[in-house]
């Protein structure tokens, strides 16, 4: 497995086009792997490629990719990077083996994490109606969605010390669980994407709506094997649109 980082050059027309279309960016990411044919994209047994955009500032937009093989991002450098600055030693992106980090994960270890995900739930508007997948739209419900995933994904989000909480005793809201000030977890950079997608069966174009949210926080590993699966296969829905990729970083405590 490999972890790759590529810095986008937002003023370039090619970068603006890719940043405006998750479909176009997904296609560009997948074309970075010469061994993956377009027909492989729907195969559930095909290698999993995950990607995520981090909008750190207007001038710093980073593309992260986790993949079974090392990608060739030459086309992205030419379209959306700094091609004149690239050299054989510095091609315009950085790839490293992910295996050393995956191998060092151990139960009880604490890491900082970032995840962009598509927090959804299934609702039935009236009796007898089929359930419908619906996005969570508030930070409290989005946090609650992530907390419900943590056991099966091999981690637990750390709770704040009581002295660090802003809400006195404050984990309830109208009689329901309220996680707004309980955990070392923030939600930011919510995005609501809407684009057309062609139905392969009918050739009709349908509007796809995807809500994404970025989570930052600290976690403790409870099941290293499960967390490795989470890091390499993704968490949640809409992986083709830049969701599901969790990354870890060392933390001071």
Which alpha helices (H) appear in the chain, and where do they start and end? 13-20, 22-30, 74-80, 99-104, 139-153, 224-233
What is the CATH classification number for the domain harbouring 124?
A: 3.30.70.1210
Q: What is the pLDDT of residue 245?
A: 97
Local confidence pLDDT in tens for the 253 residues of the chain = 999 999 999 999 999 999 998 989 999 999 999 877 655 445 554 458 999 999 998 889 999 999 999 999 999 999 999 999 888 888 899 999 999 999 999 999 999 999 999 998 767 677 767 777 777 778 888 999 999 999 999 999 999 877 667 665 545 444 445 556 788 899 988 888 777 676 556 566 677 788 899 999 999 999 999 999 999 999 999 998 999 999 999 987 6
Domain extent, residue 84, equals 2-97
Same domain, 61 and 140: no
**Last-in-domain residue among 39, 66, 97:** 97
Residue 60 burial (CB < 10 Å; 0-12/13-18/19+)? exposed
Same domain, 124 and 241: yes
Beta-carbon contacts of residue 5 (< 8 Å; ≥ 6 apart):
62, 63, 64, 93, 94
Q: What is the pLDDT of residue 242?
A: 93
Same domain, 123 and 63: no
Same domain, 66 and 161: no
DSSP assignment of 94-110 equals EEEESHHHHHH--TT-E
Structural tokens at position 125: 């508007």
Q: What is the pLDDT of residue 227?
A: 97
**Last-in-domain residue among 97, 130, 160:** 97
Structural tokens at position 115: 């995840």
Find how far residue 16's CA is from the centre of its chain. Answer: 20
> Angle at which helices 13-20 and 22-30 pack, to 10 degrees?
110
Q: What is the pLDDT of residue 34?
A: 85
Residue holding tokens 């109208």?
Answer: 174
Same domain, 198 and 224: yes
Same domain, 168 and 69: no
User: What pTM, to 2 d.p., does this model score?
Assistant: 0.85
Same domain, 138 and 43: no
**Last-in-domain residue among 97, 121, 136:** 97
Structural tokens at position 61: 């937009």
Nearest C-alpha neighbor of 7 from the set 97, 114, 92:
92
Same domain, 78 and 127: no
Same domain, 111 and 182: yes
């Amino acid at each position: 497995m490999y972890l790759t980082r590529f810095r986008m050059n937002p003023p370039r027309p090619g970068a603006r086009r890719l940043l405006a279309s998750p479909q176009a960016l997904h296609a560009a990411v997948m074309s970075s792997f010469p061994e993956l044919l377009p027909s492989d994209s729907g195969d559930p047994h095909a290698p999993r490629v995950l990607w995520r955009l981090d909008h750190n500032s207007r001038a710093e937009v980073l593309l992260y990719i986790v993949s079974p093989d090392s990608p060739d991002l030459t086309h992205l450098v030419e379209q959306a990077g700094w091609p004149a600055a690239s050299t054989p030693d510095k091609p315009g992106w950085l790839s490293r083996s992910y295996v050393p980090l995956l191998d060092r994960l151990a139960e009880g270890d604490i890491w900082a994490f970032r995840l962009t995900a598509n927090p959804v739930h299934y609702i039935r508007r009236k009796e007898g109606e089929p359930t419908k997948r619906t996005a969570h739209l508030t930070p409290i419900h989005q946090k609650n969605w992530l907390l419900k995933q943590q056991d099966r994904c091999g981690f637990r989000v750390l709770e704040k010390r009581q002295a660090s909480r802003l809400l006195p005793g404050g984990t309830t809201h109208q009689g329901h669980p309220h996680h707004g000030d309980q955990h070392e977890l923030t939600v930011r950079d919510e995005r609501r994407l809407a684009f057309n997608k062609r139905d392969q069966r009918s050739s009709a174009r349908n509007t796809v709506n995807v809500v994404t949210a970025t989570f930052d926080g600290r976690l403790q590993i409870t099941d290293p094997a499960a967390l490795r699966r989470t890091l390499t296969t993704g968490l949640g829905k809409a992986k083709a649109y830049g969701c599901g990729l969790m990354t870890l970083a060392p933390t001071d405590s």
